[in-house]
Structures are given as structure tokens and as C-alpha cells.
Homo-oligomer: A and B are copies of this chain.
Amino acid sequence: MLETGLPNLANGAGVSRYAQLAQDLRQRIVAGEWAAGAAIPAETDLAERFGVALGTVRQAVAMLAAEGIVQRVHGKGTFVTQGLNGPSLLRFFRFRGPTNEPPTARVHRCQTVRLRAAEALALGQQTGDAALRVKRVRLLAGRPVLAEDLLLPLARFEALRALPTGEWEDLLYPMLARLCGVTVARANDELSFGHLDAATAALLDLPEGAPAIRVDRQAFDLGGQCIELRTTWGDATAFHYSAEMR
């Protein structure tokens, strides 16, 4: 099953053959040809299908693996990433108490807003485009521990606009995948320190001005497009993070 072949850009545009194949595979994954969690074809099959050398396929797949778009499982094959789904921001904190139960979430507000220039730039949208601004609290054993402010471009998340705040699920990313077809492949978290304003402090049952750790997140879909901006605040005295250096 030989494809019509890769677009003839390789030499002219200075793009290597494997980078070109990686781009083609990336687009197919984003378009859903292979679903999140599904296996992509074997490398020998891809080589035959696209009419390229096996080494080219291997380089292209290695590139996608380095980007976190696919994951190789030894002896089993190569799979489209399931995407992120865990309560990941809690990894920066160590909250006391009976925290064996999974965290829950409570959406306080979901508004449609217009993107400012810097936000639009980060999200690949135009200044003034519509977005959903969501105020949410994460809870452990019913106790509020993180206050979050999410910004989601409406063009990608139209399905969430009419969703009543009480029907948002505890885990955002699996919900984005199911309702909007967007898989979050990776996220970048920038940590810094600050003091809580009155409104955020009230959400967390902390005094205004309490020391807090601020996490600014950018989350990316399988195609590498930033699809979420998020600011999270948590009690600084619960902050805990481990980093290894080699």
C-alpha cells in the first residue's frame, strides 16, 4: 500500500526526509488517523507505505517519541500517547491529612472573554478572539488546596461553553479529549513565589497575603500547539518538589 508519496519539499526547503515524514505522521495523529493510545503501524509497514528507507522511518518515529507524541513499548510496538490525565499540579505540593482519595474539582465560574495580545500569541489565536476563562478549585478530602485560573480558546473548546459548572469533571484533560477531541500531550510549568490576593485567599481558606507558590502552565496538543494557559496558586508552606541533576 504505497502512499502517493511525501510532498516534494525535502531538498528545496532544506527539510530532511525524516523530518518531513515526522511532520506527515504528526498531522495524521492530530487528525485522528490513529487515536490516542492506539498503535501506529510497524516501522517496516510505514517504510513500505511511504516509500522510504527503514532508517528514515526510525528517525522520524524517534523524533515523535522525543516530542512525547508517541511512546515505544519494548516488544509491543509504538503507541500514540494517551495524553496527560493525572492530578499533576499536586506534585508540587505535599498536603497533610487523609489524602489517599483522589482530588476533586469545583468550577466556580466559566466566562467567555476576549484574548489579549500576549494570550492570543501563546495560544495561536488572534487578539480579541473568544476564549473561556474558568475559575476552578482543586480539593483533597473536601478541603480546597489549589486555586486555578484556566484560559481555553473557544475555537478548540466550543463544546464546553454550554456545560453547566456543576457538570465539569474532576480531571480536565480526559474531559477535553472526550468532549472536544483535544489530547494534551505535554505541559510546561513555571514555578514562582507570590502572595495571595483577597479573592484567591478566600477560595483557599487562607489569609489575604499568605505566601503562595504560583504555577504558570502552558499545555500543548499532539500537534505542538499551546491550547491552554493556566495559573495555579497553592499554599507555599505545603510546597515540595524534587529535582535530580546529572
Residues on A facing B (Cβ under 8 Å):
68, 81, 84, 88, 92, 185-193, 211, 213, 236-237, 239-246
- The answer to whether B239 and A191 have CB atoms under 8 Å apart is yes
- The answer to whether A211 and B193 have CB atoms under 8 Å apart is yes
- The answer to whether A191 and B245 have CB atoms under 8 Å apart is no
Whole-angstrom distance between the alpha carbons of A99 and B193 in the complex?
21
List chain B residues, Cβ under 8 A from A213.
193
Secondary structure class of chain A's binding surface, majority of residues: strand
- The answer to whether B189 and A245 have CB atoms under 8 Å apart is yes
Q: Which of B187, B239, B245, B246 contacts A244 (CB 8 A)?
A: B187
Whole-angstrom distance between the alpha carbons of A213 and B239 in the complex?
9
**Residue of B with least CB distance to A187:** B245
**Sample of 17 further A-B pairs with CB below 8 A, known A191-B240, A243-B243:** A68-B246, A88-B245, A92-B243, A185-B246, A186-B245, A186-B246, A187-B244, A189-B244, A189-B245, A190-B241, A191-B241, A191-B242, A192-B239, A193-B211, A211-B211, A241-B241, A241-B243
Whole-angstrom distance between the alpha carbons of A108 and B191 in the complex?
31
**Residue of B with least CB distance to A86:** B245
Q: Which of B186, B188, B240 contacts A242 (CB 8 A)?
A: B188
